[in-house]
C-alpha cells in the first residue's frame, strides 16, 4: 500500500510545512512558486471549485499549456477527490466535442488562448455549465454558459483547511488516449499508478534536492504530470517550458541548472542534429530518460556527457520495464521487467508464446492500484482490455533468452505480405540507419495481390541539409533487411503529422497512402495520379 504522504497533494503539503520557501515550480521567463505558495494556491483553487459545486468523483475538464496553472487545476481537483480531465491543446472541433461530452464535465477550466476552440463546439455540449478562465484578460466569447474570469472564480475563496484529500486508490485524473490507433478512451489512473508506475522507474540519484527537472512535455499527458511529482518527492524543483524548443533547450538547461529531464526519443535524436561544439559535454544534465531509443544513443551519451535510461510504458499500466545504460545490450530493447510487475507475451487465446516469438504483451501487478482502474464510462472497452485477470496492452512484443523485452509494434500497425507478418517498427529501424534519414513512418499500402496482402510504404523526412533519393534509399536497404520487408513505396516529406506529444499520427498517413509524390520501386519512378488512384481504389 502506498504511504499516504507519497500521494502528491499530501507530499506538497508536507514540503510546504517543512520548507515553505524552497522553490518548487519555475516557468521559463515566467512565474515562480515555492512549496508554500503552491500549496496555498492549490487549496484556494480547491475552495473556489467547491463553491462552484465540484465534489468527489465529479469530472472537471481542463485545457492548459505547460504552465503552473495546469498543476493548480489538477491538484485542486485532487484535494476535492474530483477527476481532472486534461485535454490535448491541439484538439478542436469534433475531437474536442467528443471528449467534453464523453467525460460529462459540467465545469471546464481553460486558458484564455483556447477559448476560440471551445467556442466552436460550445453549442453542442450536453453537460457543460460553466467555464473558468483564470488568465482571462479580454472580452470572452459569447458562449451558451457563463465564463468566469479570475475575479469571479476566486471571489471569496480562501485556502481550504477542512479537506481530507485523496488516498492512493483514488483516481488522480482521466487521461484520454491519443487516438492514434482508434477512438480516444478515458483512462482512470489511480494516484498509486502515477507514483509507482512512472516515478518508480526513475533512479533515485536522477534528481536530488539541489537539482532541477526540466519539463517541456505537456501536462495533459503523464510525461508532463510526473515532472512536479518527481520534484516534490525528491524535494527539488521543476522548470517548465510550454513547448520543446530545439534551439532553446541547452540555454534553458544552463540558465536554470537543470540536472535531469525526460524527452521523447525523437527530441533527443534532434539534439544530435545541432552543430557540434567543443563544450557540448559541459552542461549540468547528467541523466535523461527517453524512449524509444535510437541507433545513435551511444553517440548521444558521449557527445553530451550524460547517461540515458529507458523503459516501456503506457498510460494504462505505468512503466513495467526498465533499462539503464549499463544494462543496455541492444538499443532496440526497452529493458527488463521491474519488480512487482508480471508480464506475459501471449497469442490470441492468452496462451504464452515461445521465447523469441511475437505476441501481445499482457500485464498484472502484485499490489493493487498500480494499473488503470478501467476506461471512464466505457465498460465494454474495460472488459475487453481486462481479460482473464490481465491487462491487454494491444502491443506486439517479443522477449529474448536473457529476459529483455522488445516492443515490436502496435498490433494494428503490423503488415502482412506473402504470408509474412511485418512490423512497421522493424522497417522504420532499418530505414533510420540511413545517414540521410531524420524521421520515418512505415504504413501498409495497397497490394496488387488484393485483400489480405499489403505493400510496405515508408514516409521519410531527410536530415537537415541532406538530399534523399528514394532509389538510393532502397538500394541501401536491400542488402540489410529481409526481402519481404523491403519498401515498395517511398515518399519524401518535409515533416510527419504528429500529436503534441510527438507521436506520429499514422492514421493521417493512411488516408491517402498512394499519391503523385509516391515513388514506386516496381516502376522505378513516381506514380501518376491515375496509377495512385487506381491502386488505392
Rounded to an integer, what distance in angstroms lies between the CA atom of residue 9 and that of residue 191? 10
Query: Do 185 and 42 lie in a common domain?
Result: yes
Query: Do 388 and 444 lie in a common domain?
Result: no
Query: Do 101 and 158 lie in a common domain?
Result: yes
The predicted structure's pLDDT at residue 178: 59
Query: Do 401 and 428 lie in a common domain?
Result: no
**Nearest in space to 61 (alpha carbons), one of 159, 5, 145:** 145
The predicted structure's pLDDT at residue 416: 78
Query: Do 55 and 182 lie in a common domain?
Result: yes
In a domain, 313, yes or no: no
Q: What is the pLDDT of residues 349-372, one digit of tens each?
A: 999 999 999 999 999 999 999 999
**Number of domains into which the chain is organized:** 3
Query: Do 473 and 342 lie in a common domain?
Result: no
In a domain, 88, yes or no: yes
CATH number at residue 133: 3.40.50.980
Rounded to an integer, what distance in angstroms lies between the CA atom of residue 373 and that of residue 376? 9
DSSP code per residue over 370-415: SS---BTT-HHHHHHHEETTEEEEEEEEEE-TTS-EEEEEEGGG-E
Query: Do 177 and 49 lie in a common domain?
Result: yes
**Nearest in space to 240 (alpha carbons), one of 7, 72, 83:** 72
In a domain, 179, yes or no: yes
Q: What is the 3-state secondary structure (H, E, C) of 326-342?
A: CCCCCCCCCEEECCCEE
Query: Do 435 and 394 lie in a common domain?
Result: no
For residue 98, give the C-alpha cell.
467528443
Domain end, chosen from 192, 215, 249, is at 192
8 A C-beta contact, residue 238 and residue 215: yes
Rounded to an integer, what distance in angstroms lies between the CA atom of residue 79 and that of residue 10? 9
Query: Do 436 and 350 lie in a common domain?
Result: no
DSSP code per residue over 130-159: EEE-TT--SPPP--SS-EE-HHHHHTT---
8 A C-beta contact, residue 60 and residue 50: no
In a domain, 404, yes or no: yes
Query: Do 477 and 388 lie in a common domain?
Result: no
Rounded to an integer, what distance in angstroms lies between the CA atom of residue 300 and that of residue 354? 35
8 A C-beta contact, residue 124 and residue 93: no
Residue 416 half-sphere exposure toward CB, CA atoms < 13 A: 8
Rounded to an integer, what distance in angstroms lies between the CA atom of residue 527 and that of residue 537? 14
Structural domain boundaries enclosing 397: 329-410
The predicted structure's pLDDT at residue 417: 80
In a domain, 305, yes or no: no
35-51 and 8-18 helices, crossing angle to 10°: 130
Q: What is the pLDDT of residues 155-165, one digit of tens each?
A: 999 999 999 99
Least confident of 7-11, 139-143, 157-161: 139-143
CATH number at residue 463: 3.30.300.30
The predicted structure's pLDDT at residue 426: 79
How many Cβ atoms are within 10 Å of 325's Cβ, its own excluded?
14
In a domain, 502, yes or no: yes
Mean pLDDT of the chain: 93
Give the mean model confidence (pLDDT) for residues 3-32.
97
Give the mean model confidence (pLDDT) for residues 256-264.
96
For residue 42, give the C-alpha cell.
492549490
CATH number at residue 397: 2.30.38.10
Q: What is the pLDDT of residues 437-483, one digit of tens each?
A: 999 999 999 887 444 578 999 999 999 999 999 999 999 999 888 78
Rounded to an integer, what distance in angstroms lies between the CA atom of residue 459 and that of residue 436? 13
Query: Do 505 and 363 lie in a common domain?
Result: no
Domain end, chosen from 192, 212, 228, is at 192
Rounded to an integer, what distance in angstroms lies between the CA atom of residue 407 and that of residue 423? 10
Domain end, chosen from 384, 410, 436, is at 410
8 A C-beta contact, residue 315 and residue 288: no
Instruction: Judge whether residue 186 has pLDDT over 80.
Output: yes
DSSP code per residue over 76-133: HHHHHT-EEEE--TT--HHHHHHHHHHTT-SEEEE-GGGHHHHHHHGGG-SS--EEE-
Amino acid at each position: 500500500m502506498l504511504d499516504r504522504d507519497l500521494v502528491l497533494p499530501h507530499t506538497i503539503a508536507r514540503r510546504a510545512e517543512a520548507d515553505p520557501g524552497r522553490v518548487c515550480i519555475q516557468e521559463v521567463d515566467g512565474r515562480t512558486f515555492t512549496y508554500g505558495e503552491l500549496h496555498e494556491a492549490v487549496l484556494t483553487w480547491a475552495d473556489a471549485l467547491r463553491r462552484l459545486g465540484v465534489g468527489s468523483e465529479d469530472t472537471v475538464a481542463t485545457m492548459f499549456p505547460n504552465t503552473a496553472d495546469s498543476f493548480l487545476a489538477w491538484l485542486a481537483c485532487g484535494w476535492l477527490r474530483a477527476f481532472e480531465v486534461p485535454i490535448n491543446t491541439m484538439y478542436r472541433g469534433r475531437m474536442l466535442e467528443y471528449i467534453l461530452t464523453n467525460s460529462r464535465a459540467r465545469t471546464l477550466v481553460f486558458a484564455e488562448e483556447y477559448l476560440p476552440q471551445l467556442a466552436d463546439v460550445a453549442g453542442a455540449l450536453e453537460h457543460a455549465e460553466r467555464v473558468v478562465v483564470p488568465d482571462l484578460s479580454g472580452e470572452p466569447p459569447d458562449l451558451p454558459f457563463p465564463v468566469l474570469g479570475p475575479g469571479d472564480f476566486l471571489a471569496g475563496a480562501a485556502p481550504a483547511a477542512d479537506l481530507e484529500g485523496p488516498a492512493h486508490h483514488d483516481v488522480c485524473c482521466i487521461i484520454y488516449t491519443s487516438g492514434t490507433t482508434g477512438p480516444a478512451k478515458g483512462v482512470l489512473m489511480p494516484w498509486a499508478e502515477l507514483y509507482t508506475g512512472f516515478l518508480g522507474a526513475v533512479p533515485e540519484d536522477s534528481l536530488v534536492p539541489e537539482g532541477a527537472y526540466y519539463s517541456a512535455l505537456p501536462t495533459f499527458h503523464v510525461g508532463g504530470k510526473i515532472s512536479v511529482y518527481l520534484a516534490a518527492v525528491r524535494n527539488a524543483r521543476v522548470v517548465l517550458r510550454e513547448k520543446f524548443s530545439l534551439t532553446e533547450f541547452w540555454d534553458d538547461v544552463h540558465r536554470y541548472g537543470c540536472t535531469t529531464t525526460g524527452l521523447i526519443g525523437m527530441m533527443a535524436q534532434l539534439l544530435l542534429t545541432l552543430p557540434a561544439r567543443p563544450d557540448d559535454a559541459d552542461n549540468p544534465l547528467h541523466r535523461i530518460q527517453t524512449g524509444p531509443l535510437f541507433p545513435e544513443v551511444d553517440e548521444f551519451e558521449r557527445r553530451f556527457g550524460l547517461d540515458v535510461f529507458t523503459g516501456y510504458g503506457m498510460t494504462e499500466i505505468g512503466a513495467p520495464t526498465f533499462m539503464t545504460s549499463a544494462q543496455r545490450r541492444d538499443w532496440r530493447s526497452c529493458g527488463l521487467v521491474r519488480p512487482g510487475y508480471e508480464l506475459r507475451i501471449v497469442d490470441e487465446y492468452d496462451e504464452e508464446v515461445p521465447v523469441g516469438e511475437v505476441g501481445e504483451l499482457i500485464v498484472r501487478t502484485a499490489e493493487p492500484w498500480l494499473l488503470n482502474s478501467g476506461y471512464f464510462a466505457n465498460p465494454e472497452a474495460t472488459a475487453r482490455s481486462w481479460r482473464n485477470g490481465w491487462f491487454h496492452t494491444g502491443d506486439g512484443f517479443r522477449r529474448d533468452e536473457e529476459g529483455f523485452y522488445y516492443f515490436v509494434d502496435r498490433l494494428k500497425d503490423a503488415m502482412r505480405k506473402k504470408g509474412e507478418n511485418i512490423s512497421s517498427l522493424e522497417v522504420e529501424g532499418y530505414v533510420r540507419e540511413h545517414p540521410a534519414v531524420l524521421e520515418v513512418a512505415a504504413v501498409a499500402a495497397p497490394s496488387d495481390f488484393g485483400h489480405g496482402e499489403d505493400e510496405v510504404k515508408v514516409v521519410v523526412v531527410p536530415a537537415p541539409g541532406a538530399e534523399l533519393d528514394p532509389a538510393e534509399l532502397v538500394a541501401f536497404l536491400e542488402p540489410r533487411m529481409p526481402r519481404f520487408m523491403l519498401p515498395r513505396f517511398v515518399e519524401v516529406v518535409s515533416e510527419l503529422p504528429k500529436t503534441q506529444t510527438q507521436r506520429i499520427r499514422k492514421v493521417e498517413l493512411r488516408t491517402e497512402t498512394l499519391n503523385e509524390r509516391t515513388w514506386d520501386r516496381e516502376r522505378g519512378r513516381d506514380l501518376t495520379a491515375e496509377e495512385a488512384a487506381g491502386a488505392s481504389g
